[in-house]
Structure 1
Amino acid sequence: MKVLTETWESAAIGRKKSVTVALPPTYSPVGRPFPVLYLLHGFGGNRHTWLQCEDLAAEVDSGDLILVLPESGRAWFINDARGRRYEDYLVGEVVRHVDDRFNTVARRDGRGIGGFSMGGAAALYQALLHGDRFSVVCSNGGAFEAPLREGDPYHGLRGDRNLAIPTTRDHERVWGPVGSAVRRRYDPYRLLRNRRPEHPLSIYLDVGLDDYPRMVSMNRRMRDALRAAAVPHEYRERPGGHDWDFVNAGLPDVFAFARSHLLSG
């Protein structure tokens, strides 16, 4: 795959921002347009984080998907309680820039969005909010219930150096206090209830059998909610924990799902 960096002055964020774009060997700036998969990192990650997956290049090289890797650090890719507008940046600026700069299928049925943990949850929020932009969602170990979190349910795990989950203070800096407008906006179960039927979604979600019990439970609740809402989806539980080894092992499933549901030019 060919890896590029695209940088511009972001009106939504108020400073220069960059995204990483990975192009398959078949990419051409003319002729048949290419579908695009946007992949969002986990809490505290950046636009390079997905590149640590050792099998990512092989997946990109084996198909006709353009891969876009934006970043939001710890901001959950939302318009948060501090006034940071990462939803506007992602859904507006990044999508528009990629479509202007590359030979893409510039329609909802040519765009998918996915991610790991924070990124998997944010992918679902934004697809439900912006069904006119995305038609496919892929989540690995999605932290879907972040808007519903109260206190610090991970307090007993704080000794784990690999734990990348915000404290109560950090969480409320993004989401606001319980009952805030930001939490209401991104409540995934409310978004499911209020989704627009003219923008159908195809959703893939999985979770590791050795993930944190809370994470496994919320993925099962999301599976049940999708089933009750009659939203087409695939759900899998497979070996692994809440880490990038788990994500890497699942890349073939994610890319196969995206390719099978996104429209090529």
Structure 2
Amino acid sequence: MALINCNYFSFSLKRTVEINVIIPTPEGDEQITDKYTQDFYQYEKGLPVVYLLHGAYGNYSSWTRFSNIERFAQKHCCAVVMASAENSFYQDMEHGGAFYTFFSKELPTLVKSLFPVSKKREDTFIAGLSMGGYGAWFLALSNPTMYSKAASLSGALDIVMLYDEVKKGTIPGPFKWEDIFEDPSHLEGSQADLFNLLTSCKESGTIPELYQACGTEDFLYSMNQSVRDRLKEASVEFVYEEGIGNHDWDFWDSYIQNVLDWLMKK
């Protein structure tokens, strides 16, 4: 496989940014032969692509440093794109970077122009962990015609509940809420509220398929159960999984394999 590190100037963030992109080779596991190269180096139609998001404190390199995502991408023959969002919740920050614009417009345009990825909605996916789990659903529900599937691992999916819990001190968080949102005390019903976005998607008739997983020992487990129950009450089709695990890379490295199985299933 190819792990490509790319530095380029971002117009939306107004600075040079760094991204990692995984491009699978025809045959992995150190078994490349002339036969496989001739048979499978056919990127003309474009590879399925997964935009893979990090959590709080992380960056573009988190998944490649702490998981086996390169090996898993090779197995599924999909491209994986990873970029940094700081602790922005993937928003166009009130005081900070325009990360929503970067991830929803600039980055996909660059990736489709430079790399052998499909431009079709049915081949374009997004996934992430913790803050990135929220980010994956947020970006997909904000752009339902771009992404066909979105997956959350240990996601902070209820932004309203999270803000209330962090404010009370029951959940730790590194977020400078007033820098991210115009008025964090009024997130409910805003464009940052996933349930509001989901309602808009239902009204438009285009809803990305959703996947949710969380460890039973995770500090966000009760939030994920609450989100699961609200989705059921709203009659939203989604996949929910849970298992023994915490808010850590042991869980995420294991369940990202389930995510990729689900994403690539036609």
Structure 1 counterpart of 2:177:
171
User: Please, which of 150, 154, 169 is the counterpart of residue 155 of structure 1?
Assistant: 169
Judge conservation of contact 2:187–2:193 (CA < 8 Å) in 1.
no
Structure 2 counterpart of 1:22:
22
In the alignment, structure 1 residue 206 sits paired with structure 2 residue 213: yes
Shift of 1:157: 6.5
TM-score between the two structures when normalised by the length of structure 1: 0.87
Judge conservation of contact 1:147–1:184 (CA < 8 Å) in 2.
no
Shift of 1:199: 2.2
Moved more, 77-86 or 36-45: 77-86
In the alignment, structure 1 residue 128 sits paired with structure 2 residue 134: no
**Other structure's SS at 1:93 match:** helix
Q: 1:252 to 1:76 in 2, by over 3 A?
A: same
Q: Percent identity?
A: 24
Shift of 1:151: 6.1
User: Please, which of 141, 151, 154 is the counterpart of residue 141 of structure 1?
Assistant: 154
User: Please, which of 231, 255, 259 is the counterpart of residue 226 of structure 1?
Assistant: 231
**Other structure's SS at 2:125 match:** strand
Look up the equivalent residue of 2:254 and give its one-letter code: A
Q: Which runs of 5+ in 2 are unaligned?
A: 27-39
Look up the equivalent residue of 1:259 and give its one-letter code: M
**Other structure's SS at 2:201 match:** coil
Shift of 1:142: 0.3
Judge conservation of contact 2:189–2:196 (CA < 8 Å) in 1.
no
> Take 1:29 and 1:15, find their aligned partners in 2: how far apart are those partners?
34
Shift of 1:207: 0.5
Shift of 1:7: 2.5
Structure 1 counterpart of 2:4:
4
Shift of 1:178: 3.4
User: Please, which of 26, 42, 62 is the counterpart of residue 49 of structure 1?
Assistant: 62
Q: 1:39 to 1:32 in 2, by over 3 A?
A: same
Q: 1:248 to 1:151 in 2, by over 3 A?
A: closer
Judge conservation of contact 2:54–2:128 (CA < 8 Å) in 1.
yes
Judge conservation of contact 1:35–1:66 (CA < 8 Å) in 2.
yes
Computed over aligned residues only, the root mean square deviation of the Cα atoms, in angstroms, reads: 2.2
Judge conservation of contact 2:165–2:171 (CA < 8 Å) in 1.
no
Q: Deviations over 1:101-149 (max 9, x none)?
A: 1121102211100100000001101111101111101110000122441
Structure 2 counterpart of 1:67:
80
- Higher relative contact order (CA closer than 8 Å, sequence separation 6+): 1
Shift of 1:91: 0.8
> Take 1:218 and 1:156, find their aligned partners in 2: how far apart are those partners?
12
> Take 1:47 and 1:247, find their aligned partners in 2: how far apart are those partners?
16
Q: Which runs of 5+ in 1 are unaligned?
A: 159-164
Look up the equivalent residue of 1:8 and give its one-letter code: Y
Shift of 1:29: 6.8
The higher radius of gyration belongs to: 2
> Take 1:121 and 1:82, find their aligned partners in 2: how far apart are those partners?
20
